[in-house]
Structure 1
C-alpha cells in the first residue's frame, strides 16, 4: 500500500479484525500495552476496540512526553520564565500543563512574562540573534523523536557563539520507561502485561534493536507498529500469534519506516551533544535510572540548569517551592497503566481539555484527552 487512505480501509480493517477473532483463544486474556500516546488516539479515533474480542485488553502506557514530565521540572521552567531578562520557548502542549497551585506557562505569560510557543527548536536560534539583550531558554521535552533537533540547536549555538541561548533539557528515553513499567518496587501497584505495541516515531530514530531485552529479560514480546488503524490491528494480530505460539521476540510491523538500527545520523548528533543522566524523575514512575539525557560537559555553557543555577535556587527558597499535583488526579496511575481515565473521579467533571487538572488531559497524545475526545461516541 502506498497511500494513507489505504491504511484506513474499512474492509481491510474488518478482515484483520476477523483474523484476530479467529486467532485468539477464548480461555485466556491478552493484555497489550500501546506505549505511545499516538497509538492511543488512533485506537479511539477509529473505534478499534469495537472490532476486537473482549479478551484483548489494550492498556495505555506512558508514551506522552508532556504527560510524563514531573511537576517539579515544570515549576522550574516557570521559575525561569519569571526572570525579567528571559524569553522562554517551548512546544504548544507544554503551555497549558498545570504546575503547582494550578498555574501554567500560559498563565505566567498572561501575567506579562515572555513565554513563546515554537514549532521547532531551530526557531530559538533566530530569536536569540534578534534579541541579544535577552536570555533565550528553550524548554526541551520529548522522547528520542524530538531529541536530535535539540542537539542540533545546541551544536549550532556553539558554532555561532550564541552566548544568550540555553536549553532546559528534559529529554527522556523510551526503553528505560518500559523497564520502569515492568519493574515495580515492593508494595507498589504494578500492571500485568503480555506484550507491547512498540512506538513508531521513536523507533524510526533508535531502531528495533533497543527493544530486544524485553523478550529476553521479561518474556514480553514487542511489535513496533505504525500509527494508522490497519498498522495497529496488524500489530495486535502479530502479538496474539506470538503469544499463542509461545514465541517471544521483537517484530517490526512498521517496516516502511523503521529499521533495525534506526537513524544513524540522528543518533550520532544526539550522542555528540547529550549524555545519560544517572537518574530522572517521571510522573507516575518516580525516579528511573539512566532514563533521561543531559547536556555534555563541552556544551555545558548552553545548559540552562547551569547558567541559572543560583537564580533557580534563590527562587525556590523565596517561594518555598513544593511541587503539588491535584490530589484527586489519577494521572500517575494512568501513565503506569494501572488505571484508565474513567477511573479518575475528576474525568469530565471538572477535568476537560478546556479545564485540564492533569497533564494527561492536556496533550494531544494524552490518554485522558483521547477518552474525552472519542470515548463518548464509542459509548453512545
Structure 2
C-alpha cells in the first residue's frame, strides 16, 4: 500500500476483524473456553489514540481487550519534575523552551503555562534546534531546553547537544528528563497486577532502537510482541499477528511496521545517544514509582550543557492528588472512565492529571473518542468470548 487512505479502508478493516476472530476461536477451543478477553497492551500512546479515533476497540470487543501502557512520556512525568521546570522557568535570566504538550501538565505549583501567564519567559518549540537558535539569538540569556521523551526524541536532543558543543554555545543547557522503553516494559512484566497476553510494540521508538531489543519479552516472559504502525489497518494487522502467535503457541518478535522500523534501529541516532547520555541509577515515573536504569543523564564530558549542574534543582518527590488515578491507568489496572473524576472534575479544559493533558494520554483519547459509535462504518463486533 502506498497511500494513507489505503491504511484506512473500511473493507480491509472488516476483513482483518474477521481474520482476528479465527485464531481467537482456536484459542477458545484449545482452552475449553475463554474465561476473559485476550489482553493486549499497546505500549505507545499514539496507538491508544488510533484505537479510539478509529473505533478499533469497538470492532474487536469482546474478543480482544486493549490495555493502555505507559508509552506517553509527558504522562509519566512526575509532579516533582514539573515543579522543577516551573522553578527554573521563573528565574529572571532564563528562557525556558519546551514542547507544547508539556505546557499544561500540572505540578503541585501549577503548570508551565501558568508560569508563563505569571510572567516567566516560557516558549514553545518544535525541536531542540529551535532552542539552540534562541541561545544564539539571546547570548545574554540562559536558554534551557526541557528534554523529555523516549529514544525517539532523545536522539534529536543528543544531536543538538553535540551541535552546541561544536559551536561552543555557553548559554544553552538541557534539563534532561529523557526515559528509556526497555526497563519500563520489564517493570510492567514484573508487575503482579497485570495478566497480559501480548504487546503492540511502539513504532516510533523502534524506529531508533530496532526490534532485536524486544527479544527478552518473548524469550524470558513468554509473551508475543508485534511492532505496529499507527494507521487503523496497521493496528488491526498487528493484533492479528499477536493473536495468531497465541493460537499457535509461539512467542516471537514480529515487525508489522517494516516500512519504517529496521531490525537494528538507526545507527547514527544510537551513536549520538551513547555519546551524550548515560543511564541514571533510577528515575521516578508517575504511577510506576522508581524504575532502575530507566532514565538517562548527560555524561561528564558534556556537563557544561547540563541544567542540573548549572542551576539548583530540588528534584522532590510529590504525590499526585488522591482523587486522580493516573497511576492506575498508566499501569493498565483500570480504564480511564473508571477513575472517579474522569469527565467531571478532570477534563481537557480543567485537567487534574497528565493523562488528560497530553495529546497521547489515554484519558484524553477516551474523553475525545470513546463516545463515538463507529459501528455504522465498520459494523459491530461479532465475535463472542466463550464463557
Classify the TM-score, shorter chain: over 0.9
Secondary structure of the corresponding residue to residue 201 of structure 1: helix
The equivalent of 1:74 in structure 2 is: 82
Give CA-to-partner distance per residue, 1:331-362, whole Å, 9 cap, x none: 01100111110110110002111111100000
The equivalent of 1:339 in structure 2 is: 334
Within the alignment, does 1:329 sit opposite 2:324 as a pair? yes
Give CA-to-partner distance per residue, 1:60-88, whole Å, 9 cap, x none: 00000100111111111111011111111
* Alpha-carbon distance in structure 2 between the residues aligned to 1:337 and 1:351: 19
- Match for 1:350 among 345, 351, 357? 345
Q: Tell me the CA shift for residue 152 of structure 1.
A: 1.0
Q: Cα RMSD (Å) of the superposition?
A: 1.4
2:280–2:293 contact (8 Å) kept in structure 1: yes
Instruction: Mark the runs of 5 or more structure 2 residues left unpaired by the alignment.
Output: 376-387
Within the alignment, does 1:361 sit opposite 2:369 as a pair? no
Q: Tell me the CA shift for residue 22 of structure 1.
A: 2.1
Secondary structure of the corresponding residue to residue 214 of structure 1: helix
The equivalences for 1:158-307 within 5 A come to 158-184=165-191, 190-307=193-310
Q: Tell me the CA shift for residue 322 of structure 1.
A: 6.4
Within the alignment, does 1:4 sit opposite 2:38 as a pair? no
- Match for 1:116 among 118, 123, 136? 123
Instruction: Mark the runs of 5 or more structure 1 residues left unpaired by the alignment.
Output: none
Q: Tell me the CA shift for residue 219 of structure 1.
A: 0.9
The equivalent of 1:308 in structure 2 is: 311
TM-score (norm 1): 0.94
1:182–1:190 contact (8 Å) kept in structure 2: no
The equivalent of 2:370 in structure 1 is: 375
Secondary structure of the corresponding residue to residue 31 of structure 1: strand
Q: How many pairs does the alignment contain?
A: 367
The equivalent of 1:42 in structure 2 is: 50
Secondary structure of the corresponding residue to residue 146 of structure 2: strand
Is the alpha carbon distance of 1:322 and 1:282 closer, same or farther for their aligned partners in structure 2, counting shifts above 3 Å? closer
- Match for 1:31 among 39, 56, 64? 39
The equivalent of 1:94 in structure 2 is: 102
TM-score (norm 2): 0.92
The equivalent of 1:58 in structure 2 is: 66
2:54–2:374 contact (8 Å) kept in structure 1: no
* Alpha-carbon distance in structure 1 between the residues aligned to 2:81 and 2:187: 19
Give CA-to-partner distance per residue, 1:144-194, whole Å, 9 cap, x none: 10011100111111111111100000111111111111113xxxx621101
Is the alpha carbon distance of 1:322 and 1:210 closer, same or farther for their aligned partners in structure 2, counting shifts above 3 Å? closer
Q: Tell me the CA shift for residue 378 of structure 1.
A: 3.3
